[in-house]
Amino acid sequence: MFFLIERSKTGARSLCAALLFLLLPACLLAAPVAASPTGSVVDKMEPPHWWVGLGDGTLQLLLHGPGLAEWQPSLSDEAVRAGIQLQRVQRTGNPNYLFLDLAIAADAEPGRYTIRLQRGSGRRAERAELPYEFRARSGWQPQGLDPSDLMYLLMPDRFANGDPENDVVEGMQQTGLDRSDLYQRHGGDLAGMTKHLDYLADLGVTAVWPNPVLTNDQPEHSYHGYAVTDHYRIDPRFGSHADYLAFTAACRERGIKVVMDLIHNHVGNRHWWYQDLPSANWVHQWDSFTRTTYRAPTLLDPHASAYDRKVFGQGWFDTHMPDLNQDDPLLTRYLIQQTLWWIEEAGTDALRMDTWAYSDPDFLLAWSKAVAEAYPTLFVFGETWVHGGLVQGYFHGDTRLDKDFQPDITALTDFQAYYAITESATRDPGWTEGVNRLYYTMAKDYVYPHPERNVVFLDNHDLSRWAAVVKDNPLKIRMGLDWLMTVRGIPMLYYGTELALSAESDHHSGTVRQDFPGGWEGDSLNAFTAAGRQAMGALTAEIYAYTRALARWRAKTPVLHHGVMTQFVPVDGLYAYARHDGESAVLVLINGSDEVRRTEPERYAEVTDGFAVGVHPVTGTSLNLSQPIPLVPRSSMVLELR
């Protein structure tokens, strides 16, 4: 009546309009509201879709929009009949969020269903409808990784520019390109990566690990991918969502496995939900900026102070990287679902988990359990940039250490092995120094029931390039490659290492993230071609040919995939180890001294007995195993025993 009285004051025409209003069906009296996630009621809905049968049969939907907490959600009758139930609605201190807990029956019918929202009641109620899709699973199961693989790490922005149209995306906070500045964007993208997959396959690569490809809409340093601002969106400067799916499909066509790089420890401070946090509890809050100590031993140190443990785990990685509080159950569920979503959506074979040691241990237990249950064949390796074999081993679940922290993770990045091979090539032998560090490091493999699963490497996007470490010495470059391709573990090759690209790093230095020569139209040198590699110089051509030959030999040499590793105590700076299985054997010698060393094959009789010669897999050089084997200073030798 109030509405009618107010309208009647304007005269007869208004009175007729008011009477007509009262006669309208109640369903038409509700204020029309946009019915899509991009409308005025809901501007974000995550995950964007889901699959029947994925996970534990439940789904937590995050909805965001202005004043959304005032709305009451429900599911359409069709959704309920299909086997989908709304179990619970959760609200936080932020009025712009709703979290919907759904139960999905195992036999639920895939389809597109409606989420209803209503604010108010009666004739003045506002209503909105949101479509949401539940898909049928494809049956995808990850291939995982194993020691027969050779993984290739590349930085999308610096590998190849296949689509100049996405070089500048209007509306993003960093739009320009400047290839002369190592901290600006250079324009590499998914199309460029896809274009050069044949180069990787020919090199002998069986798995590709790109640095993160999710949106990093940050005003500075947005090229590297480690400050995510949207967990469900491919960075448009790399291409579209369809481009990423095309990349993963093209990898599968060539027999190349796909590794996705995820970060759950922190986000970029321009992340859409950091700008409007569901609750203050989603990030670790400090009175003033507090950086992590980067001291991982505080988690296992029986003498560590509570304050130091807190700062390590809750301090921010950097001023623009808020540290996530994974104790929050809503955030825990959000990150678990985001992981499952990308595995299913893109056909992911393995995950590389950034800053594994910095995430909350209880979260890692819950996350790894959920992921392993959903995808038993998935390979997960965590970044453990720490010092000390026992410290590194702490962050693995499958170890012989007596500890409560036992995450379901397949492997770790083996930084201890990296430190050891680096020291072997750069320091004189001592009781524990030089090549002797390799010996002591491998001796600590007793910590791992399966050390052969750990990821070994010579360099990566945070470290000085191997060629620079060894001062561009070709013998030492080959020493590293010989070790990488024969030691226990899964080898990872950083893009450009096969070209002897050389650059020093002082921690996260852009110099080690240079452009791959030939990845941009108009480049004066093109390392994707033999002629281009020749033009880059004799060292590049030599190291590329050696890397390719060694990688392809490794691929067809099963003893390097499953053979036992036996190492021998170094003598006078000469270190030796073998891979053998009772039928085949490979002997590797490393001379870490400045003197010519001769070693007697009988020293290794437990491996060499029954074999007459050792043949170098690349040069074809054949050595009689009844004669001393000479090694020039600071060099290595690989011998396939026959």
The set of catalytic residues is: 354, 383
Comparing C-alpha atoms, which of 139, 133, 117, 103 is closest to residue 41?
117
The answer to whether 419 touches 459, Cβ cutoff 8 Å, is: no
The neighbouring-strand residues paired with 254 are none
Residue 263, number of CB atoms within 10 A of its CB: 25
What whole-number distance in Å separates Cα of residue 500 and Cα of residue 488? Answer: 23
* Strand order, beta sheet including 257-263: 411-412, 379-382, 350-354, 257-263, 207-210, 151-154, 490-494, 455-457
Comparing C-alpha atoms, which of 420, 428, 546 is closest to residue 481?
546
E strand spans, 15-71: 31-32, 44-46, 50-52, 58-64
3-state SS assignment for residue 241: helix
Cα distances (angstroms) measured from residue 78 to each of 30, 83, 114, 136, 401: 21, 9, 8, 17, 52
3-state SS assignment for residue 480: helix
What whole-number distance in Å separates Cα of residue 479 and Cα of residue 591? Answer: 9
Residue indicated by tokens 């800053």:
355
Residue 215, number of CB atoms within 10 A of its CB: 25
What whole-number distance in Å separates Cα of residue 487 and Cα of residue 458? Answer: 12
Comparing C-alpha atoms, which of 169, 166, 170, 171 is closest to residue 189?
166
The answer to whether 69 touches 96, Cβ cutoff 8 Å, is: yes
Residue 426, number of CB atoms within 10 A of its CB: 14
The answer to whether 243 touches 250, Cβ cutoff 8 Å, is: no
**Residue by residue, what is the 3-state secondary structure of 556-618?**
CCCHHHHCEEEEEEEECCEEEEEEECCCCEEEEEEECCCCCEEECHHHHHHHHCCCCEEECCC
What whole-number distance in Å separates Cα of residue 206 and Cα of residue 200? Answer: 8
Q: At CB < 8 A and 24+ separation, what contacts does 9-18 make?
A: none
In the chain, the amino acid numbered 72 is Q
**Residue by residue, what is the 3-state secondary structure of 262-302?**
EECCECCCCCCCCCCCCCHHHECCCCCCCECCCCHHHHCCC
Comparing C-alpha atoms, which of 616, 635, 464 is closest to residue 553?
616
Question: What's the chain's length in residues?
Answer: 642
3-state SS assignment for residue 354: strand
Q: Which helix (H) or strand (E) covers residue 568, if one does? A: strand 564-571
Cα distances (angstroms) measured from residue 5 to each of 1, 9, 19, 121, 554: 6, 7, 11, 21, 88
What whole-number distance in Å separates Cα of residue 515 and Cα of residue 518? Answer: 8
In the chain, the amino acid numbered 25 is P
DSSP track, 618-634: TT--EEETTS-EEE-TT
Residue 314, number of CB atoms within 10 A of its CB: 19
What whole-number distance in Å separates Cα of residue 75 and Cα of residue 89? Answer: 12
